[in-house]
Amino acid sequence: MNVAIVILNWNGRKLLEQFLPSIVNFSSELADIYVADNASTDDSISFVKEHFPSVHIVENSINGGYAKGYNDALQSIKADIYCLINSDVEVSKGWLEPVLEVFENEVSTAVIQPKLLDYKDKIKFEYAGAGGGFIDLYGYPYCRGRVFNHLEKDEGQFDDVSQIFWASGACFFVRSEVYHKLEGFDEDYFAHQEEVDLCWRIQNEGYTIKYVGTSTVYHVGGATLQESNPHKTYLNFRNSLLNIIKNVPKQWFLFVVFSRLILDGVAGIKFIVELRPIHTWAIIKAHLSLYKNFYKFLKKRKKLQKKSDYNLHTSIVWQYFLLGRRKFQNLK
């Protein structure tokens, strides 16, 4: 089984200097390592060539974000399994073997995410993917170990191998055949939640998404766009809405769309109360973009959700804010 670890980079020389050594040290015997550069203007490429000559480099002509960046780079990378990993991720010894074992034994598993812990506080799960992702009735993503901004301590509660709904793009293993069959990430997303959409589409094809908690990586998070950045708010709200337009089953479509309009309005009011009106404006811009692209994404609804993993009975907004349930284990 040929494995390619692909690190997407944009002006990230400092991150490569800090995190590339762990990937090289703990992965080179089992995988080829690539840096896919999104038209950086710093000295990232010359740094890699000088200090890590065994690392292959793919140079994209433009910065197309996460989605287009990987789509472009993976056209020229041949492997059975791609590991798409952020440049701000530290891996641990033996991290690859448990993941590859699942791929070898389960032909229906197309995507795998390892345990994602916080690099800055290694006893806690990390926001981007934690112990594997799910999605609620209204299209809000959440994770085992992370519901909204509440992060659980890692106490071994998710040291299992389990089926999930989506895997984090921070460390995203995928069968190359499936990736290319579905034409990769939707480039209209640019960044954020494109992995949720791809996992949704992959499940529509009858494959499963797995979390392997016996493999651990550590993610800084926010190295490209911090949580306080309104552009990140815009992308998260807009792309979550695009996921709904594209993927929610038709019998729930209108209910979910109108519910989200109301809930996002409440979120906008909450930002105003918190004296963060720039994030309210980001939500408004997200909805304006949705209206602009509404019919375009309706045309993308070629195949609808077929699996029961889309949780029609859970609203994490209700459970988190009204019932005070902060841990994944307490969600009903």
pLDDT means over runs of 10, the chain (332 residues): 97 97 97 97 97 97 95 98 98 97 98 98 96 93 94 97 97 98 94 94 94 98 65 93 89 90 95 96 96 88 58 81 91 82
Alpha-carbon distance of 328 to 300, in angstroms, equals 32
The number of beta carbons lying within 10 Å of the beta carbon of residue 107 is 9
Q: Do the bridges between strand 208-219 and strand 109-118 make them parallel or antiparallel, or are there none, so unpaired?
A: parallel
Are residues 115 and 258 located together in one domain of the fold? no
Are residues 259 and 164 located together in one domain of the fold? no
List residues bridging with 147 in a β-sheet: 150
Residue 308: CA atoms inside 13 Å, Cβ hemisphere, count?
1
The answer to whether residue 175 is domain-embedded is yes
pLDDT at 73: 98
Are residues 195 and 268 located together in one domain of the fold? no
Burial tier of 175 (Cβ tally within 10 Å: 0-12, 13-18, 19+): buried
Which residue in this structure is represented by tokens 């993976």?
Answer: 74
Q: Report DSSP letters for 20-89, one per residue.
A: HHHHHHHHTTT-EEEEEEES-SSSHHHHHHHH-TTSEEEEESS--HHHHHHHHHHTT---SEEEEEETTE
In angstroms, the Cα distances linking 6 to 9, 70, 76, 87, 263 are 9, 8, 12, 9, 37
- The count of domains in the chain is 2
What is the domain range of residue 61?
Answer: 3-219
Q: Which of 193, 219, 245 is the last residue of a domain?
A: 219
Are residues 60 and 155 located together in one domain of the fold? yes
Q: Do the bridges between strand 171-175 and strand 81-86 make them parallel or antiparallel, or are there none, so unpaired?
A: antiparallel
List residues bridging with 121 in a β-sheet: 118
Closest to 65 measured CA to CA, from 16, 10, 11: 10
pTM of the complete model beyond 0.85: yes
Q: Which of 219, 242, 263 is the last residue of a domain?
A: 219
CATH number, residue 36: 3.90.550.10
Measured between its terminal Cα atoms, the distance across the chain in Å is 39
For residue 299, what are its two tokens? Answer: 């045309």
Q: Which of 194, 219, 244 is the last residue of a domain?
A: 219
